[in-house]
Structure 1
């Protein structure tokens, strides 16, 4: 959609009183694919039991002793939008104006995350620890070799990992690497992108021998 392409950060509005639809999931996927920041805005909070915190994330939402209506909604969001675990959830009400100004604070926070540049040394420390803890496995019983990682862009943050047989790296390992990076640099509200580059193996060194006939000339 043109509106997504023109935006830097998108607010995905979800009606808390109506089940979210496949369209909501499709829009969220398009936002991530376009590399845009995202906030999940749960509307009509005035009609809900608001005993839970006004902000949360799908991955670490606060649990309460009593299972509330908001808990139920957040659990469904976590299940159906599991690819948005990094996205903040803002519970709002246009009727009362509740938490509307908080939206601007989140936009600022996400914008900072989108402009974050990580030192190459820090990235490679994360990569080395990740591969030692859980060595990469590839398709067809291969073992891709991950050599080093660099950040090449921001908005969204983009990382390039160099190695061998990268085309055979299993998709689940790519998700694992993203989780390890986010443990140190959360990149709240923004997708992070990866490219995988195959470094060519060095060929056999050529042997340059003096030609005796040439030397005699």
Structure 2
């Protein structure tokens, strides 16, 4: 049985370093400056044979309500509320500070199982801080070095004991439930007759086969203050990530699992991405790199634009990056409730999108208000539709009939008096749809003719809004002699 372990403490004591070590990946941003982490981040922690849910939190600060620090504190308090065991981390080299004492008093009121962890226990300088930690009243502290992996055996014992207690409580609860069911009068029970469909089989949508029950990774990217975090909170129906009027609140890329119409959607909130020339500080560079990495691991990318100032140069560069990474994309025009001439503005934006992003012709354009929660269903319908298109597979026979028609209506140009022959075509892979054409002189085929073919593929097979890869190769039809392909 999995339990939840939250790492809490004041800023800059090494919480994210321990989080990264236990999950085995550098998921959380780590820097020497305090206050790097702002949102709570969850991951699967592992110590030996134990697996558990691990929560990294922002450094706890005593701040007034309404400020950014106060909203960060609320995220930490929520992590404490849902955790089964709390690792209260202090800096052994700095000793116990007044903020540690204040935080300790709050944890005692939470009525949770708390384990004191003295981090940065490297060398003799940390001994005094370790002994001083006893006065916090949480028993003997665990001497730990998250950076070097010291003290993990003691953490193993703490988590193992918590898992054993949780399993015992579960067994007791199951026994009570079975006893209660045994005493029920069956005549009072309602009749249930539900036909369950088998899942995991995938469905045939006419274009290709894909699994509509598989989880879907959706990254939400855009410029700072476009409303990405606000939208995610409205989707999940909770203040899961920090929001506010300040630009650049989000630093880490935070994954938030969400269920929509019975399907798990892994929403990834990312830091706002400014122009490269404006990104000077090391911490912002780390945040931007984390956001760009999220695009690589996503399947669908929602590019969030501010409808009051859409299609700035940075927006177009982000869209181009998504296309080059081969990810499906949906453009979300946020803050639509602030637009006055909605019909005229939408018409202008569609024209601008077709003109400025020809490589993504037909990309879905959805207007919404993240703050008010309007059109979230329309956004998700567009996401699932473009996912189907991104997974499209077209039969070789259909592709070669199409290729014959395209070359007959507009033959390839003659180069040096010799006509280029397009002999055979097949789809190499999906995600995104990628095709190979074998021709007589691949190096001589003009790029303009390749664009003509890509445009035809998009229009004929309904591949709007997704990247298309087209590779031109030399040689004959590789299946001609084997008899695997016979043109109709």
Give RMSD over aligned pairs.
2.0
Which protein has the larger Cα radius of gyration, Structure 1 or Structure 2? 2
| 2:461 corresponds to 1:172 | no
1:105 alignment counterpart: 381
Cα distance, 1:75 vs structure 2: 2.5
Cα distance, 1:76 vs structure 2: 2.5
2:332 alignment counterpart: 41
Name the SS of the counterpart of 1:178 in structure 2.
Answer: helix
Name the SS of the counterpart of 1:4 in structure 2.
Answer: helix
Cα distance, 1:70 vs structure 2: 2.4
Cα distance, 1:51 vs structure 2: 5.2
Note the 1:1-217 alignment, pairs <5 A: 1-49=292-340, 52=343, 68-137=344-413, 143-199=419-475
Whole-angstrom CA distance in 2 between matches of 1:36 and 1:99? 23
Whole-angstrom CA distance in 1 between matches of 2:402 and 2:446? 19
Q: TM-score, normalised by structure 2?
A: 0.36
Whole-angstrom CA distance in 2 between matches of 1:171 and 1:122? 24
Task: Please list the CA deviations of residues 99-137 of structure 1 after superposition, one character each: whole Å capped at 9, or x if unmatched.
Answer: 112221122111211222111110001100000000012
Q: 1:141 to 1:86 in 2, by over 3 A?
A: farther
Q: 1:29 to 1:131 in 2, by over 3 A?
A: same
Whole-angstrom CA distance in 2 between matches of 1:199 and 1:49? 58
Count matched residues: 186
Contact preservation (8 Å) 1:145, 1:166: no
Whole-angstrom CA distance in 2 between matches of 1:73 and 1:105? 20
Q: 1:113 to 1:69 in 2, by over 3 A?
A: closer
Whole-angstrom CA distance in 1 between matches of 2:330 and 2:311? 15
Q: 1:6 to 1:108 in 2, by over 3 A?
A: same
Whole-angstrom CA distance in 2 between matches of 1:49 and 1:143? 55
Contact preservation (8 Å) 2:360, 2:466: no
